[in-house]
Amino acid sequence: MTAVQNMPSRDTGQDAACRSGQLIRERGQHEVFCGLTSIMWLHRKMQDAFFLVVGSRTCAHLIQSAAGVMIFSEPRFATAIMEERDLAGMADMHDELDRVVEELLQRRPDIRMLVLVGSCPSEVIKLDLSRAAERLNRRLAPRHRVLSYSGSGIETTFTQGEDNFLAALVADGATQPAKAETASLVIAGCLADVVEDQFARLFRDLGIADVAFLPSRSSEALPAIGPDTRYILAQPYLGATAAALEARGAKRIDALFPLGEEGTTAWLKAIADSFGVAPALFDRITEAPRQRALSAMAHYRPWLEGRKIFLFPDSQLEVPLARFLFREAGARIVEAGSPYLHREHLAGELALLPDDAALSEGQDVDRQIDRCLAADPDLIVCGMGLANPFEAEGHVTKWSIEFAFTPIQGYEQAGDLAELFARPLMRDVILSGTRRPAPGGTA
């Protein structure tokens, strides 16, 4: 299981080297999503893929509670619900799965890629989905391609589901004949279509060719990866994907994540340097969008400057978001919580966080709520299980799942990203009848 390497490590020795701030490591109730939730955006990104969760009624209920507010004439995900008799004897579980897959493909013959998604129950009983995927692949290829990954809560937190999916895509590519030329640059991490297009234009203008995005929009347009491939992460939660890419010989380009003007410039600069782009060309190409990003930011900075912000763990985006809030919006970071800190991928981000910001990995939600209330922040970034209860107690919150669902990367989105944080503060002012933000500080 690729996800195992993503488990929080217990050693503490190296933390001090990363930064001087306070590190809180906790174990208690984790108020987070499991990796199955990543299906929510992956099914839209890759429209010819179908996600079949092998799990319990709880898993089915989770997905439809999240996505069922949209009305689907053709659902792109489903659950093979394990029943009592499946648990009685393991032998026929694979037959059962084959039958369910057959039923599904009969209804949806247009599916190109079938993704078997592991859950807590399927992993606790050690149902081997990777073997099932191999077997089904032999039978269904080339018409349908079958993959598997784990989205279970015991192994993965929220966006780690995407990490495992991408790692499975990369690993699977090894067994597939390469259709295209080997990509020279792979951008790893699901991005909004519009963001992808913007980056693709910038790469073209910088003269960088053979750029591929992972995941691709179609299951048939996956990039070929080899020792000549360099890759860069567009998302911070891709530990397993990075390992899978490296296993195929690709080399990582280290950079900040492309959030805000500073992050995007650093990210693009790292790529440009790696490909030997002349600094003058880089400056010329990025000058205008950088100015646009800065002027868009200027609208929202007055709302965020000097505000105390507390971030609960959710998606691993918290550290780059905190860096953006602190460096570009002038906010004060009380605590940035993350379900998992990938020290190597986040090294640049951590170095830019303010010294007085607490950093937490893992969670004991009750204690974290106590800390949060004691700090009395101006804005709490948290999941939807906590947001309305905080609001009802008079706090202003920004629900964090939106960062996984909104175009926030790149220059043109820098203002939008700042607005996501400023909006609840604006709304608070509107609804409580005040007219203007307090200049440069707490309300």
Partner 1 sequence: MKLSMWTYEGPPHVGAMRIAASMKGVHYVLHAPQGDTYADLLFTMIERRPSRPPVTYTTFQARDLAGSTADIFKTACREAVERYRPDTLLVGASCTAELLQDDPGGLARTLDVGVPVVPLELPSYQKKEHWGAAETFYQIIRTLAGNRERPAEIAPNSCNILGPSALGFRNRDDVTEITRLLERNGLDVRVVAPLGATPADIARLPEAAFNIVLYPEIADTAARWLKKTYGMPFTSTVPIGVHATRRFLAEVRALAGLPEAEAGDDGTDRMTWYARSIDSNYLTNKRVFVFGDASHAIAAARIAAEEMGFKVCGLGTYMREFAREVRAAAADLGVEALISDDHLEVERAIIEARPELVLGTQMERHIAKRLRVPCAVISSPVHVQDFPARYSPQMGFEGANVIFDSWVHPLMMGLEEHLLQMFRDDFEFNDDAQASHLHAVSPSASPSASVAAEEEDAAPVPAQGTAEDDMALWTSDAEKELRKVPFFVRGKARRNTELFAESKGIHPITVETLYDAKAHFAR
Closest CB 180 distance from partner 1, rounded Å:
32
On whether 120 is known to bind a ligand per the annotation, the reply is yes
Give the 3-state secondary structure of residue 378: coil
On whether 190 is known to bind a ligand per the annotation, the reply is no
On whether 59 is known to bind a ligand per the annotation, the reply is yes
Closest CB 107 distance from partner 1, rounded Å:
5
Phi and psi (nearest 5°) for 312? -80, 155
Between residues 121 and 239, which has the closer beta carbon with respect to partner 1? Answer: 121
Closest CB 14 distance from partner 1, rounded Å:
19
Phi and psi (nearest 5°) for 409? -85, 155
Does residue 238 contact residue 189 with C-beta atoms inside 8 Å?
yes
Q: Using CA of residue 196, residue 323, residue 351, residue 11, what is the dihedral sign?
A: negative
Between residues 152 and 264, which has the closer beta carbon with respect to partner 1? Answer: 152
Q: Which residues form the interface with partner 1 (CB under 8 A)?
A: 4, 7, 28-37, 54, 56-58, 60-62, 64-66, 68-69, 71-75, 78-84, 86-87, 93, 96-97, 99-100, 103-104, 106-107, 120-121, 123-125, 152-155, 157, 366, 384-389, 391-392
Does residue 353 contact residue 359 with C-beta atoms inside 8 Å?
yes
Give dist(CA 292, CA 313) in Å, integer: 31
Between residues 121 and 415, which has the closer beta carbon with respect to partner 1? Answer: 121
Give dist(CA 247, CA 117) in Å, integer: 22
Give the angle 50-403-150 at the CA atoms, nearest 5°. 40
Closest CB 292 distance from partner 1, rounded Å:
33
Closest CB 7 distance from partner 1, rounded Å:
6
Between residues 315 and 413, which has the closer beta carbon with respect to partner 1? Answer: 315
Between residues 84 and 355, which has the closer beta carbon with respect to partner 1? Answer: 84
Give dist(CA 4, CA 86) in Å, integer: 26
Between residues 64 and 184, which has the closer beta carbon with respect to partner 1? Answer: 64
Which amino acid is present at 326?
Answer: F
CA 31 to chain centroid: 17
Closest CB 9 distance from partner 1, rounded Å:
11
Does residue 297 contact residue 415 with C-beta atoms inside 8 Å?
yes
Q: Using CA of residue 431, residue 401, residue 187, residue 140, what is the dihedral sign?
A: negative
Give dist(CA 419, CA 406) in Å, integer: 12
Q: How many CB atoms lie within 10 A of CB 315?
A: 25
Length of the chain in residues, anyone?
Answer: 443
Does residue 400 contact residue 427 with C-beta atoms inside 8 Å?
no
Between residues 40 and 250, which has the closer beta carbon with respect to partner 1? Answer: 40
**What is the DSSP track for 293-334?**
HHHHHHHHHHHHTT-EEEE-SSSS-HHHHHHHHHHHH-PEEE
What are 330's two structure tokens? 């002038």
Listed residue (134, 416, 163, 356) closest to 336, CA to CA = 356
Closest CB 200 distance from partner 1, rounded Å:
29
Closest CB 221 distance from partner 1, rounded Å:
26
Between residues 87 and 281, which has the closer beta carbon with respect to partner 1? Answer: 87
Annotated binding site for [4Fe-4S] cluster: 34, 59, 120
Annotated binding site: 34, 59, 120
